[in-house]
C-alpha cells in the first residue's frame, strides 16, 4: 500500500495539513482569485480561500461525501456545505433526521453542530467550473483516506452524487479493499462486505438538481430516514 495512504496522527493534524495544502497550482490560483474578487453580495466578507477540511462528529456513524467546495459557499465560509444553496437543502434535511442541532448553516460561528455525522468531499479546493481534473482528485485522495481510517465508527457512507460515489469506490480499491461492482443511483443501498460501511447514494443537493425537481425534500428525507433506521437512535449529546 502506498505511503500516501498511511494515517496521519490525528484529525486535528489532518485538518492543519489540508488547510495548508498547495499541491494543485490551478486550484490554488482559482480559489484565491475567487476570494479576492468576491461576489457582490459578499463584498464585506473575508473569504476563506483555502482548502476546506471535513466537519462534524468525530464519533460519527454516518459519513457524507460531496464533490468539492462551492466558490461562494465553502470557499467563502471555510466549512463544508455552508453558505450556499446546496447547504440550504442539506442541513435542514440533516436536522429533520436528527443529525444536526439546527437547520441553517451560514458561517463557522453559527452554532451548527453535527451529531453522529461527518461531512467531507473528494476535493478540498473549489475547482473552476465545479470540475476538478483527475490529477487534482488524485492529489486529494490521501486526505479522504486518512479521514476514513480515523473515523472508526462509520457504518454508512452517503455519497452525494455519482462522482462522489465512484470516487469513494476507487479509493477503497486503492486502499486495498475489493468492493463489489455497484452503480450509482438515487436511493442506492449497497452492503460492501469485508467489514466496510454500507454505501448509499443520493443526488447532490445542488441548485441544479433541486430547481429542476430531480431532487426534492421528500426524496432527501427518505434517504436519511433509511439511514436513521439502519443506525437507530443517537445516544450521544451535542
pLDDT in tens, 19-51: 999 999 999 999 999 999 999 999 999 999 999
State the average pLDDT over residues 179-190: 97
Residue 237 and residue 115: Cα distance in Å, rounded?
Answer: 8
Parallel, antiparallel, or unpaired for β 55-56 and 117-121? antiparallel
Q: pLDDT at position 8, please?
A: 64
pLDDT band at residue 237 using 50, 70 and 90 as cut-offs: low
* Sign, Cα dihedral of 65, 146, 125, 92: positive
Task: Please check whether residue 11 is in contact with residue 147, taking contact to mean a CB–CB distance below 8 angstroms.
Answer: yes
More confident residue, 5 or 176: 176
Residue 234 pLDDT > 90 = no
Residue 219 and residue 227: Cα distance in Å, rounded?
Answer: 13
State the average pLDDT over residues 87-111: 97
Residue 110 pLDDT > 70 = yes
State the average pLDDT over residues 199-225: 97
pTM of the model: 0.94
Interval 49-66: pLDDT, tens? 999 999 999 999 999 999
Tell me what the pLDDT averaged over the chain comes to: 94
Residue 217 and residue 202: Cα distance in Å, rounded?
Answer: 12
Expressed in percent and rounded to 5, the helix, strand and coil fractions of the chain are: 40, 10, 50
- Name which of 134, 139, 145 is nearest 176 in CA terms: 145
Contact partners, residue 142, CB within 8 Å, separation at least 6: 4, 5
Phi and psi at residue 160, in whole multiples of 5°? -90, 90
State the average pLDDT over residues 59-85: 98
Given the C-alpha cell 439511514, which residue does it identify?
227
Residues above pLDDT 70, as percent of the chain = 95
**Grid coordinates belonging to 50:** 483555502
Residue 36 and residue 42: Cα distance in Å, rounded?
Answer: 11
State the average pLDDT over residues 197-224: 98
Going by CATH, does the domain composed of 11-231 fall within 3.40.470.10? yes
pLDDT band at residue 97 using 50, 70 and 90 as cut-offs: very high
Amino acid at each position: 500500500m502506498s505511503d500516501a495512504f498511511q494515517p496521519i496522527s490525528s484529525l486535528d493534524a489532518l485538518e492543519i495539513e489540508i488547510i495548508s495544502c498547495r499541491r494543485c497550482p490551478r486550484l490554488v490560483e482559482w480559489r484565491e482569485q475567487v476570494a479576492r474578487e468576491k461576489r457582490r453580495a459578499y463584498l464585506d466578507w473575508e473569504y476563506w480561500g483555502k482548502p476546506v477540511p471535513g466537519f462534524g462528529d468525530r464519533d460519527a456513524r454516518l459519513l457524507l461525501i460531496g464533490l468539492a467546495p462551492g466558490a461562494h459557499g465553502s470557499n467563502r465560509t471555510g466549512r463544508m456545505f455552508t453558505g450556499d444553496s446546496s447547504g440550504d437543502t442539506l442541513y435542514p434535511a440533516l436536522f429533520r433526521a436528527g443529525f444536526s442541532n439546527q437547520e441553517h448553516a451560514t458561517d463557522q460561528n453559527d452554532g451548527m453542530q453535527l451529531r453522529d455525522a461527518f461531512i467531507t468531499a473528494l476535493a478540498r479546493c473549489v475547482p473552476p467550473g465545479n470540475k476538478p481534473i483527475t490529477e487534482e482528485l488524485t492529489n486529494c485522495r490521501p486526505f479522504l483516506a486518512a479521514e476514513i481510517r480515523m473515523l472508526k465508527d462509520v457504518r454508512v457512507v452517503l455519497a452525494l452524487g455519482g462522482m462522489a460515489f465512484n470516487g469513494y469506490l476507487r479509493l477503497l480499491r486503492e486502499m486495498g479493499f475489493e468492493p463489489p461492482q455497484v452503480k450509482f443511483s438515487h436511493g442506492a443501498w449497497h452492503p460492501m462486505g469485508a467489514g466496510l460501511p454500507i454505501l448509499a447514494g443520493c443526488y447532490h443537493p445542488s441548485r441544479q438538481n433541486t430547481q429542476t425537481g430531480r431532487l426534492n425534500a421528500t426524496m432527501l428525507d427518505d434517504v436519511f430516514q433509511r439511514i436513521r433506521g439502519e443506525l437507530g437512535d443517537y445516544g450521544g449529546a451535542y
